[in-house]
Structure 1
Amino acid sequence: MTLSSKLETCCNPRKWDLAHPILILGTSGRALAQSAAAGGYRVLVADCYADRETRQVASAWVQIPPGADDEHWRQRIAQLIRTETNPVGLVFGSGFENRPEFMEELTQWGVLLGNRPHCVRLLNDPRRFFSLLWKLAIPAPEIRFSPPDPTHGWLRKAIGGTGGHHVLPMTKALIHGKRVRWQEMRPESQKRRASTSPPYYYQRKLEGQPGSVLFLANSKETQILGYNHLWTAATRAAPYRYGGVATPLNLTPSAATFLQSYLRTIVTATGLRGLNGLDFIQEPGGIQVLEINPRPPASLDLYHDLFNPFDAHVKACLEVPLSFRVTSITTTRAFSILYAPYPLQIPPHMVWPTFCYDCPVANLKIEREEPICSIHARGANIEECRQLIRRRQQQVLKLLSPNKTPA
């Protein structure tokens, strides 16, 4: 019997229950793994960082280099689950949104606890997703698939891109300048589709406050768990790079009502399940929907002490009625990604401050502009949190490189 057939035999969905192991797959599995362990689940993790906290809570883990192809993922995942005698629940985090075919293949190896690949495919195809929004009368920015002329007031986005690195203000130079380079960086499975799928789309730039909604869905109903403020960590090459998130974001009652209505409509139309995120822009004239992240978003990290996000995700995926009680947030909370301002190496006896999460292991080399860790803070308001995070970032850099002066 081959490994694949063995896994298909032992992973009969009808035999899976909450006592069986969970395999978390994604770019970073730390937040989900900690929440799962706190909920009493036995956790396996396959991600790109294998940071210290992940290793502490996971029964087993494998580290998969960023940019690894599908075959590398197959081999490492097989190492994790080949000895499991019970069905494994599969939870996909970030990094699989643009790989629905691979998701579909991996779901033959376990029990999918998340959105089905066809739903992920729909929500991450801008042509289909924005057509759906307009059909449902949900406000969204204008998009097109050929370069606009004039270019002013437009953004270029890579189809399937994540983290904001791929979003650039549209210029004449971009029409011809970077297409080949971006394709060279894409996973092999996407390169093969490049001749039939345009790598970019163009979106009208909106002015306003970017925000997100953390919500739960069970394919029929939805429950909003929190509204969040988003910010960037801009560089010259990546002016919209993801920087961090804070909660709560104060919305007008009408804006909150509109978002609740939009989510109910989208969930009914798509069958979304589990924890998901919706990104939007709050303009003076109202809310414009930008995208749906059909998987547990990073913002769940701000809610661990209010409810168990992982347990809520699993039960919603099993289509349990939504009745989770979330304690009201009384203190603003936030986290930001600390990107390396220069190449560095983690000291062998680094003592990480308690406000650091996603901490890399000793002696790891980190290149300039790669993420080091996330820095968390609480305060009276969002600006106070941001100021505290800036001070803490400088503190961490000083610990990592005592002979350097942070910029």
Structure 2
Amino acid sequence: MLDLFGDEDTLALAENYRPLPGRFGAGARDRGGVLAGLDALSEEAGGTLGVVLGSGFEGAPDLIAEIAARHRLLGAGPETVAALKDPFRFAALCERLAIPHPPIAAGPVTERGAWLLKQAGGCGGSHIRVSAAGTAPPDHYLQARMPGRAFALNFLSDGRRIEPLALTEQWQAPSPLRPFRYAGALARGRDAAAPIPARIAGEIAGAAHRLARATGLTGLASADCLVDGERWWLLEINPRPGATLDVLDRRPTPLLILHIEAALGRMPSIEAAPVDATGAEICYAARTCAAVPPLDWPDHVRDRPRAGSHVARDAPFCTVTASGPDAAAVKEELRTRAEEVRALLEETENSHEFQHERAEPQRPGRAAGREPRR
């Protein structure tokens, strides 16, 4: 395992781990560190089946190409990522395939508040701002602001066909500087009523299928959409495993195995969806924690920062998960568990006399500390 965080649960599960310097959401990866870390892990393991990339590579297809030259990629290749994550190529592809997609522009625009400013290759929603009138800066673009609720179709693709896994409902945790910050997602149980009309769900799946065939997309991916009554728009395709892993990995066969099989061009059989609904929500730090105290983590907490870690104000602290008979019960349990984590942190800090740093000033466009991994 090679990543930026080295969380407690990651270290407990990984046979070998190497830290990667840098900050998630910064847009550029430490190329030398990534390549050297992957080479070292492969050598220590005596060879590998391949490399599964997570978040943070969408804006660097050239780095993906360098990785692919050394190791087998289990998932989207560099050309696929470039086609899906370059905003203007993607918009043109959606137009050619008759897929509804919000208008985009480099500028100038004059309608204040009618456009969103997004970073090309960004993830997690923290990079999105309501745009003032003007032109997008380098490596950014403007997207028309559309109404609706956020959903994502999570699916497997072998490059020829897709198998839908779940339609997840998504929500946000706005902060003053990050009004579209990703918060969590929920998948309903298999017998629950669908959250959107069947026609819309079918159209979204058809769009994902056409895009997968057009780009050669393989492995686990998701199609982020806005749905407004009988209208919908595809916002983007995330061509890799993402933040909904904790929500989707509930079938007897581990989701990673399904991803690898599809990435190798062998579409696996998909077992029935679970009866219960399941959700996951990020707990953001209310203030800067100079050193995380030792915590007795509940089993339903993921992405657990190690004791002594620095977590900046408004950065993700951990992720809570919950299951229940329906969506309303899961959302209520997520809220309860998030409050319990905050109370646990407060209680442990008081007993250990841990001190918080003064809140760090933050400027738009600059993230502090840990960032969402979506």
TM-score in same-fold range (> 0.5):
yes
> How far off its partner does 1:328 sit?
2.8
For 2:2, the equivalent position in structure 1 comes to: 46
1:214–1:297 CA contact under 8 A, matched in 2: no
Counterpart selection for 2:293 from 347, 362, 380: 347
User: Residue 26 of structure 1 aligns with which residue?
Assistant: none
Task: State which drifts further: 81-90 or 238-247.
Answer: 81-90
1:61 is matched with 17
Identity of aligned residues (%): 28
Q: How many residues align?
A: 337
Q: Which residue identity does 1:270 align to in structure 2? A: T
Tell me whether 1:158 sits opposite 2:109 in the alignment: no
Which blocks of at least 5 consecutive residues in structure 1 are unaligned? 1-44, 180-197
Partners of 1:277 and 1:377 in 2: how far apart? Answer: 21
Match of 1:253 among 181, 192, 198: 198
CA deviations over 1:117-173 (Å, ceiling 9, x no partner): 01101111011001000111111111111131122321111111111011111124x
Distance 1:97 1:218, change over 3 A: same
Secondary structure of residue in 1 paired with 2:52: strand
Query: Greater RCO between the two (CA within 8 Å, min separation 6)?
Result: 2
Question: What CA deviation, in whole Å up to 9, does each residue of 1:314-334 have, x standing for no partner?
Answer: 1111111x3422323322211
**Counterpart in 2 of 1:109?**
70
Measure the CA separation in 2 of the matches of 1:130 and 1:103.
22
- 2:336 is aligned to 391
Deviation digits for residues 42-69 of structure 1 (CA, Å, limit 9, x no counterpart): xxx0011111121122110012133352
Q: Separation in 2 of the partners of 1:82 and 1:310?
A: 22
Structure 2's unaligned 5+ residue stretches are 24-28, 189-193, 351-374
1:79 equivalent among 24, 28, 40:
40
Aligned to 2:261: 315
Query: 1:198-237, aligned counterparts within 5 Å?
Result: 198-237=138-177
Distance (Å, rounded) in 2 between the aligned partners of 1:130 and 1:97: 16
* Structure 1 residue ranges, 4+ long, deviating more than 6 angstroms after superposition: none
Partner of 1:121: 82
Q: Secondary structure at the match of 1:123?
A: helix
Q: Which residue of 2 aligns with 1:328?
A: 273
> Aligned-pair distance for 1:74?
2.9
Q: Distance in 2 between matches of 1:215 and 1:365?
A: 35
Conserved? CA contact 1:156–1:170, under 8 Å: yes
- Residue 134 of structure 1: SS of its match in structure 2? helix
Root-mean-square deviation (CA), in Å?
A: 1.8
2:247 equivalent among 287, 296, 302: 302
Taking the aligned partners of 1:325 and 1:79, their CA distance within structure 2 comes to 34
